Amino acid sequence: MKRVFLSAATSVVAMGVLAGCGGGVDTVDASGVPRLPARAADAINGAPRVVPPRGPRSVFTPFRTTGDDGTQVVKTTWHGRKSGFTGEIWAWVPPQYQQPQYAESGFPVLIALPGAYGYPFNYWAGAPFALEERIAEWSREGKTLPFIVVMPVLNPERKYYDGSDIPGQPKMGTWLTEDVPDFARANFRTYESRDGWAFMGSSSGGFAALKAVLKEPRTFKAAIVNGPDTAPDSPMWRGHPAEMRANDPRHLARRLVASRQPEVYLAFELGSREAAVPDVKRFIRDYTGGSIHSTLFEIPDGVHSAHTYIQRMPESLHWISEQMQGPVPSA
């Protein structure tokens, strides 16, 4: 199921936040989410290797202000040197990024992918979901890590690419897993280790997030996977069965477990009224386990909608935060 429901207000904002359009913000209750435990990962990893911004630095334009702390979602156009694709990226750094005690620290990166086409706008950058404001609040409370959020376009020309390099088409798999991380490394202080890299996505973006982590476990450690397809289904795969299989999460999961590659962590979110519930639960049952750790957050009466998934985002972000590397203050 490729399409993800957005309210009329959200759809208007998704196409025109800069024009000053308004919209309601979903209510999310994070009161039951505990503080993260002491950063055991810091002790395990020792001093994590920070990657300073490598450049070339992007020219950003402000997209929207995200609070009284001075943070902003910003926007730029990025040319992917590896994919050859040029597209829009929105980005946000948490308040901690500018604080003196973290001036020498890296920060974890969350690549957030929308549902449906995710083109020409990535709705996670918009005000209705307030993802950035929520991460600022939850990280300040110690419930999640303070992620850098990177939000690229997903399906150009309003075609579904399954987040993959389909022969004869734009290399959207390379765009997401190589060029978008290169953008983050060019502009922000990040970590070299996969402990600092995760995906989050809904619907078509959920499929891309799931596949990216299963295909590149040495690069990405975790994903939040909301209402995803669990098999590739773009019509553009026709005539390319081998390449399609190489981008099938079921095949990738089996290969990952058999080859004993690094462990990955998948937090699934589903609305209880979604048609995809049986398929996703079957995927979790049959294809996770061993080196593929998973958890499921099922939202009562939830539907195939980002408005459903945001309700359990604090729990999902908390769960992957427990597995990842946070910023380290200077001594």
More confident residue, 26 or 319: 319
Per-residue confidence band for 257, with pLDDT thresholds at 50, 70 and 90: very high
Interatomic CA distance for residues 196 and 110, integer angstroms: 8
Which residues are paired to 294 by β-bridges? Answer: 266
First-to-final CA distance of the chain:
49
Whole-angstrom CA distances from 128 to 17, 23, 138, 146, 244 are 10, 6, 17, 20, 35
∠ Cα 79 114 63 (to 5°): 60
For each of the domains in the chain, give its residue range(s) and CATH number, in order of start.
63-321 (3.40.50.1820)
- Return the pLDDT at 159: 94
pTM of the predicted protein model: 0.92
Task: Look up tokens 């399409």; give the residue.
Answer: 3
Of the candidate ranges 111-115, 122-126, 183-187, 260-264, the one whose mean pLDDT is the lowest: 260-264
- Does the pLDDT at position 45 exceed 90? no
Interatomic CA distance for residues 134 and 131, integer angstroms: 5
Q: What is the mean pLDDT of the chain?
A: 91
- Does the pLDDT at position 41 exceed 80? no
- Return the pLDDT at 295: 98
Interatomic CA distance for residues 191 and 64, integer angstroms: 26
92, 66 Cβ separation under 8 angstroms: yes
The stretches of 216-248 forming alpha helices (DSSP H) are 241-245
Percent of the chain whose predicted confidence (pLDDT) is above 70: 90
Closest C-alpha to 139, from 330, 331, 313, 299 = 313
pLDDT digits (tens, 9 = 90+) for 195-204: 999 999 999 9
pLDDT digits (tens, 9 = 90+) for 151-192: 999 999 989 999 999 999 999 999 999 999 999 999 999 999
